[in-house]
Amino acid sequence: MAIRPAEQLIHKAAWLYYAHGLRQDQVASQLNISRASVAMYLRKARETGIVNISTSTQLFTDDVMARRLEDALKLDAVWIAPENGYNPDQSTDIAVLAASVFLELVKKGDRIGVAWGRTVYTIADIMSYADLQDVTVVQLCGNLGAPYSYRPDQCTMEIARRLNAKGLNFYAPLVLSTEELARALRAEPVIREQLAGISDCNLALFSVGTVDADSHVVKCGALNPDEMAALRGIGAAGVIAGQIIDARGEALDCSYNRRVISAELGSLRAIEKRLMVVQEDSKFEPLLAALAGGLCTHLVVGAHMAQRLLDHAGATPHKAS
Amino acid sequence: MAIRPAEQLIHKAAWLYYAHGLRQDQVASQLNISRASVAMYLRKARETGIVNISTSTQLFTDDVMARRLEDALKLDAVWIAPENGYNPDQSTDIAVLAASVFLELVKKGDRIGVAWGRTVYTIADIMSYADLQDVTVVQLCGNLGAPYSYRPDQCTMEIARRLNAKGLNFYAPLVLSTEELARALRAEPVIREQLAGISDCNLALFSVGTVDADSHVVKCGALNPDEMAALRGIGAAGVIAGQIIDARGEALDCSYNRRVISAELGSLRAIEKRLMVVQEDSKFEPLLAALAGGLCTHLVVGAHMAQRLLDHAGATPHKAS
DNA sequence: CATGGCTCTCGACAAAAGTCAAATTGGCAT
DNA sequence: ATGCCAATTTGACTTTTGTCGAGAGCCATG
């Protein structure tokens, strides 16, 4: 029989191997197939999320620094990826940690909002598979027409795929050419509904963007470097889900923001668990802005960034910048 | 240096291996230790629950029969361990499944009530380790003085150990010689408190016992065969946490029950998730009684028992026996 | 200060798991 | 019916992992 090896068979193999602790050859003989097939089924089982291998992220929160940051920033939980030696690629470390933390936060029946950017996409890319039920992943902001590598819909769909969840894409451009058009589009039932549904999420995953010429909103063509410089002139401090925020973490009053189709910051704040992940040290200022605006409740950063945040919080307690 | 390999080091090894997907020799060189040590650390990490390998129990609920049982018995969830061929030891199958289901039901911060008996102990014994936080495991009934193999306190402590949780034992005998003494003991603050705390649990794990000479309450010496026969004569149908229940699933009105120190059935019913596991086919009648009394919300049984339950439910819909 | 018990560590071997190309199978269109 | 295609299975090979006994460092004790 060369039919598709039923999910059933994969499951049985995984069950005997992982739950009963049999060896592959024992599983093979019980199932009357070759050991090589068993090995293949087991790989599939891991890739499908039928088996879940997760490592506790406990130690990263147990860190004294993490605790102090939680207090200083009034966050629900902070995870700090250690800098120490052995992996030169700090940002991968952070992403791996973030993926684990994310999976630990997700529960059955959740509705998850996902923003976009390199960080989010990296996380999606290394996240292990899981077999959650009744999970919906929704896109937090409009799409890019341009062929950019870390498109919002890609981030959403990839995460949905990994979780075995339903992905809900946003069928609207991220930024429009006129405010009128943006307003009109937001009033469209389909779009309005989707925007309204964002506050029903109970978990959000996002990063924060810089407001310089390297910013992903510039790279993807939503803004050109000059426009960005101008925005910086009037107080732009960071980018959240495609929107420009000021140092207080509020949406900047500017034409660009009015032309963007994205989750309102208020809707974001309505989400119970908001996991922010910051990989680059250069995102210090934007992160401060996001924190000031209470845009996240859970934070994953590297040790260096954590130290800077602590120093800053210590220097200016209870006050932004 | 031959100091105790810090939890830290085990965690790092586990992290690099499982989360980053490095090979053992790569982990070894990053950590500057031998590969053999890495292998050892990883085993410890698995045994400690720092890493969690779990297989989805999805398929066992997806079963059509499981669904029909859920409907017929009005249970929240039913898992059915397949009989089919390859493992002659059906009851081990059921216990392994039950352990997985149990671990899937436990959440951080839970308070778990645990009964006793061979089934519960078997589950505890094969359950994999986990690193839950703020979990408390409480004993649902009094203890046995006699050296019986599956003592209530053993069940409780073993499960607590596996979950890395706090175990709360019951420092009272299961059964006393006079009703007066039992009443007095129940009135003792320590005991009363513990009994009262049972309804605060949000998860319970128990099985049901038979009321014949093989019953564990007989084997452990709480009752002798003759007494048991007498109880059967006046309507005893099963044993729950050391108490005798009748066919309706209510506590039997008898001296024995009045001499027992155990969770009141009302307290049990107040627990949100009550996982009942039945291994032996001979426990059909006791199980019916427990079901009739609404004593469980989640059920793990073997395929044969499931079929009997379905037949029974089909034959006498909406009515007990 | 030497001794003994203890645990941790390492190297080498044995066992198990992963991988690949070739062979087989069933489905499907011709 | 026949031959092709895609998917699956397998056996043989390589790589990776588990395990064991020997050795080394630490601590407490005489």
Looking at residue A235, its pLDDT comes to 94
Residues B228/B151, Cβ–Cβ less than 8 Å: no
Give yes or no for residue A99 having a pLDDT over 50.
yes
| Placement of tokens 């990063």 in the chain | A207
Straight-line distance from CA A56 to C1' D17, in Å?
Answer: 22
Reading the block at residue B155, the tokens are 């069940």
**φ, ψ for residue B72, nearest 5 deg:** -60, -40
Separation between Cα atoms, residue B207 and residue B176, nearest integer Å: 23
Q: How confident is the model at residue B85 (pLDDT cuts 50, 70, 90)?
A: low
- Per-residue pLDDT for B87 more than 60? no
Q: Among all protein residues, pick the one whose CA is nearest to the C1' atom of C26.
A: A2
Q: How far is B20 from chain A (nearest CA, A)?
A: 7
Rounded Cα gap, residues B225 and B218, in angstroms? 6
Within 13 Å and on the Cβ side, how many CA atoms surround B148?
23
Q: What is the pLDDT of residue A317?
A: 56
Q: How distant, in Å, are the alpha carbons of A88, B29, B75, B224 from that of B34? A: 21, 7, 52, 59
Q: Which DSSP helix (H) or strand (E) runs through B277? A: strand B273-277
Residues B45-69: b if buried by 16+ CB within 10 A, e if exposed: bbebbbbbebbbbbbbbebeebebb
Separation between the CA of B21 and the C1’ of D16 (whole angstroms): 13
Looking at residue B246, its pLDDT comes to 95
Strand partners, A209: A239
What Å value separates CA B86 and C1' D22?
A: 42
Higher pLDDT, residue A282 or B61: A282
Contact A73, A291 (CB under 8 A): yes
Q: Name the residue type at position A178.
A: T
For residue B320, what pLDDT is reported? 44
Q: CA A250, CA B63: separation in Å to the nearest integer?
A: 50
* Strands A136-139 and B51-55, bridge-based pairing: unpaired
pLDDT tens for A213-267 read 888 889 888 888 999 999 999 999 999 999 999 999 999 999 999 999 999 999 9
The least confident of A44-58, A93-107, B278-292 is A44-58
Residues B173-182 have a mean pLDDT of 91
Contact B56 A131 (CB under 8 A): yes
Separation of alpha carbons B23 and B25, rounded Å: 6
Q: Do B50 and A56 touch (CB under 8 A)?
A: yes
DSSP A163-216: HT-EEE---SBSB-SSHHHHHHHHHSHHHHHHHHHGGG-SEEEE--B-SSTT-H
Interval A170-198: pLDDT, tens? 888 888 989 999 999 999 888 898 899 99
B236 has which bridge partners?
Answer: B246
Contacts of A29 (CB under 8 A, 6+ apart): none
* Model pLDDT for residues B203-245, shown as the tens digit of each residue: 999 999 999 988 988 988 888 899 999 999 999 999 999 999 9
Question: What is the rounded CA–CA span in Å between residue B302 and residue B280?
Answer: 8
User: pLDDT above 70 covers what percent of chain A?
Assistant: 93
The dihedrals phi and psi of A168, each to the nearest 5 degrees, come to -115, 110
Asked whether the beta carbons of B6 and B41 are under 8 A apart, the reply is no
CA atoms of A281 and A308, how far apart (whole Å)? 9
Range with the lowest mean pLDDT among A96-110, B75-89, B286-300?
A: B75-89
Split at pLDDT 50, 70, 90, the class of B121 is: very high
Which of A278-292, B160-174, B279-293, B304-318 is predicted least confidently? Answer: B304-318
The nucleotide whose C1' lies nearest the CA of A9 is: D8
**Which of A16, A51, A133 is nearest residue B54 as measured by Cβ atoms?**
A51
Burial letters B291-313, b for 16+ CB under 10 A, else e: bbbbbbbbbbbbbebbebbeebb
Shortest alpha-carbon distance between residue B302 and chain A (Å): 16
Give yes or no for CB of A318 within 7 Å of strand D: no
Taking each continuous run of H as one helix and of E as one strand, the counts in chain B are 16, 10
Q: Which amino acid is at B247?
A: A
Q: At what angle do helices B35-48 and B24-31 cross, to 10 degrees?
A: 100
> For residue B88, what is the nearest residue in chain A, using CA coordinates?
A30
User: What percent of chain A lies above the pLDDT cut of 90?
Assistant: 51
The Cα–Cα gap between A141 and A113 comes to: 9
User: Is strand D in 7 Å reach of the CB of A36?
Assistant: yes
Check if residue A169 sits with its Cβ under 7 angstroms from strand D: no
For A31, phi and psi rounded to 5 degrees? -100, 0
Conformation bin of residue B210: beta by default, left when phi > 0, alpha when psi is -120 to 50: beta
Spell out which chain A residues touch chain B, with contact meaning CB-CB distance below 8 angstroms: 7-8, 11, 14-16, 18-20, 30-31, 45, 49-56, 58-59, 86-87, 92, 96-97, 99-100, 131, 133
Q: How does B151-183 read in b/e, with b if 16+ C-beta sit within 10 Å?
A: bbbbbbbbbbebbbbebbbbebbbbbeeeeebe
Tokens matching residue A183: 């307003």
Q: With bands split at pLDDT 50, 70 and 90, how would you rate the model's confidence at A299?
A: very high
